[in-house]
């Protein structure tokens, strides 16, 4: 897990997705956000309706950077996407599009990767595979998710929003120690640990 991994949580409408879009310069705002490096934003993949083949999308996902076939093949194999490469994107299911979106964004290989609800539409096995991959990723990550245990598992840092304001900013372990999730979501969670893993119910 990257020490630069930050989970962004909060109730609906708190400003989480807007925060990521501001970092990616996809939403107007007042002020300045300085990122030393390139940024990639991964949003809702279900809107993808292109007649391009999935393999073509992955080819162009690299942008102006040199192709890296070994890295791409590793991503494709990790997310079990080989049999879908010759399918038009418009024929893929929501979960298949999400996997394509995830492979594309990591193949772009930016300094900052912003994942907005990356577990949406994914079967549990692919949520696990995504977690496994994230633990090997060494660059900066921001993850917005309502899957709180996914955030706990994959993010060293935590940023919590309420009504557009930051209500917590610190280590995920401290958020668990302080039971900060209760305050963010106005709900009393059950804090547990098992086999070195911490989680909430």
Dump pLDDT digits (tens) for 96-118: 999 999 999 999 999 999 999 99
What is the distance between the alpha carbons of residues 164 and 172, in angstroms, rounded to a whole number?
20
- Tell me which residue range forms the domain holding 33: 5-200
pLDDT band at 30; cut points 50, 70, 90: confident
Kindly state the average pLDDT of the residues 38-46.
90
pLDDT band at 34; cut points 50, 70, 90: confident
CATH label of the domain that carries residue 26: 3.40.50.300
pLDDT band at 164; cut points 50, 70, 90: confident
- pTM (2 d.p.): 0.93
- What are the distances in angstroms from CA 55 to CA 78, 99, 100? 15, 13, 9
Tokens at 51, concatenated: 């007649």
Per the structure, how many domains does the chain have? 1
pLDDT in the model for residue 157:
97
Kindly state the average pLDDT of the residues 170-193.
97
* DSSP code of residue 91: G
């Amino acid at each position: 897990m990257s020490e630069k991994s930050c989970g962004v949580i909060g109730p609906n409408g708190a400003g989480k997705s807007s925060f990521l879009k501001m970092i990616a310069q996809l939403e107007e705002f007042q002020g300045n956000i300085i990122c030393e490096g390139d940024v990639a934003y991964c949003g809702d993949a279900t809107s993808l309706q292109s007649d391009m083949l999935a393999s073509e999308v992955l080819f162009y996902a690299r942008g102006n950077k040199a192709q890296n076939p070994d890295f791409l093949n590793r991503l494709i194999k990790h997310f079990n996407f080989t049999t879908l490469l010759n399918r038009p994107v418009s024929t893929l299911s929501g979960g298949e599009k999400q996997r394509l979106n995830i492979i594309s964004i990591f193949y772009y290989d930016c300094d900052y990767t912003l994942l907005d609800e990356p577990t949406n539409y994914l079967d549990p096995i692919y949520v696990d595979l995504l977690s496994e991959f994230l633990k090997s990723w060494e660059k900066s990550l921001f993850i917005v998710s309502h899957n709180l245990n996914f955030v706990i598992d994959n993010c060293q840092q935590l940023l919590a929003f309420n009504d557009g304001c930051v209500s917590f900013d610190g280590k995920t372990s401290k958020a668990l120690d302080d039971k900060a999730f209760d305050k963010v979501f106005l709900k009393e969670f059950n804090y547990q640990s098992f086999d070195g893993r911490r989680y909430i119910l």
